[in-house]
Amino acid sequence: MGLTDKLKDAAKKAEDAAAEHKDQIRDAVHKAEAAADQRTGGRYSEQIQKAGAKADEVVDRLKDPAE
């Protein structure tokens, strides 16, 4: 097994683990949004919300390993 195969296998395992924990990832993203918004005093709320929406899109695209 070459280095490329090992990296592909590691990436697949990481994607499967992330897919299994979609809800926890989504909760962490929302907590990070709230913390960033609070620390910036609401000055960048729109940008923070856009970044959170993009992160949610990525999480939604993750496929469950059972599929």
Higher pLDDT, 47 or 61: 47
What is the spatial distance between Cα 46 and Cα 19, in angstroms, rounded to a whole number?
A: 27
Residue with tokens 């926890």: 24
Which amino acid is present at 7?
A: L
Cβ neighbors of 33 (< 8 A, separation 6 or more) are: 48, 49, 51, 52
Which tens digit of pLDDT belongs to each residue from 2-50?
999 999 999 999 988 888 899 999 999 999 999 999 999 999 999 999 9
Query: In the chain, where are the structural domains located?
Result: 21-67
Cβ neighbors of 22 (< 8 A, separation 6 or more) are: 59, 60, 62
- Considering the entire predicted model, what is its pTM? 0.73
